[in-house]
Amino acid sequence: MNRRFAQIAWLALIASLLAFPVFASAVPALDETQQRVRRQLVRLPYFGVFDNLEFQVQGSKVILTGQAVRPTLASDAQAAVERLEEITEVENRIEVLPLSFHDSRLRRALFRNIYGNSYFSRFAGRPIAPIHIIVKNGHATLEGAVARKSDKIWAGMLAKQVSGVFSVTNNLAVDR
């Protein structure tokens, strides 16, 4: 009886550890303005796993950087940040990725290989994906944050397995 109880307790512990989200938050402690800018960006309706939006706040000025698959995402991001009352200037440096059938195919294949993996599959349907897949001219970059260094390594290995990818740059941050 005690052995059975020990097995159940052990399985419960393992299940609770697996339920811990891989993407907690790679965002360092943000001040109120930074939190408001971030909130505006993550609420954009077409911000997805194939886009990467970053920002820098300098007083009342915001500099937007990153990559977007759709040109409308770059303009929507700028408009969303401009609506904040404390922001007086927005410099939009978001790169709109070129249209390419080859890059679109690679994006889908990378998504399937990473989020189709049993370890990462539970994060595929999240509103904000922990791993963003950026593809430009056949070169892939992984952006975002994961909980452990092993997650970063595993995601990079899965991306490198995709046929047709010229190179993979793994910029995933590891949460502390």
- Which domains does the chain show, CATH number per domain? 32-96 (3.30.1340), 101-174 (3.30.1340.30)
CB of 159 closer than 8 Å to CB of 170: yes
Residue 165: other Cβ atoms inside 10 A:
17
**Which three-class secondary structure state does DSSP give residue 14?**
helix
Pick the range with the lowest mean pLDDT from 110-124, 132-146, 148-162. 110-124
Instruction: Give the CA radius of gyration of the chain.
Output: 19
The pLDDT of 69-90, averaged and rounded, is 95
The candidate with the shortest Cα–Cα distance to 122, out of 10, 20, 47, 52, is: 20
Report the pLDDT value the prediction gives residue 29, as an integer from 0 to 100.
Answer: 60
Amino acid at 27: V
β-strand partners of 90: 62
| pLDDT at residue 128, rounded to an integer | 79
Q: Is the pTM of this model over 0.85?
A: no
Could you give the CA distance from residue 149 to residue 73 in angstroms, rounded to a whole number? 31
Give the closest residue to 57 by CA, choosing from 85, 33, 88, 78. Answer: 33
Mean pLDDT of the chain: 84
- What single-letter DSSP state applies at residue 122? G
The percentage of the chain sitting over the pLDDT mark of 90, rounded to a whole number, equals 72
In this structure, of 3-7, 61-65, 74-78, 117-121, the range with the lowest mean pLDDT score is: 3-7
Residues 6+ apart with CB under 8 A from 89: 60, 61, 62
From residue 99, alpha-carbon distances to 4, 37, 41, 68 in Å are 58, 28, 23, 11
The pLDDT value recorded for residue 70 is: 94
**Tokens encoding 80:** 């969303």
Q: What pLDDT score was predicted for residue 119?
A: 85
For 16-56, the pLDDT digits (tens) are 333 333 233 444 567 899 999 999 999 999 999 999 999 99
pLDDT, mean of residues 86-92: 94
Mean pLDDT of 11-15: 35
Give the separation between CA 30 and CA 56, rounded to whole angstroms.
11
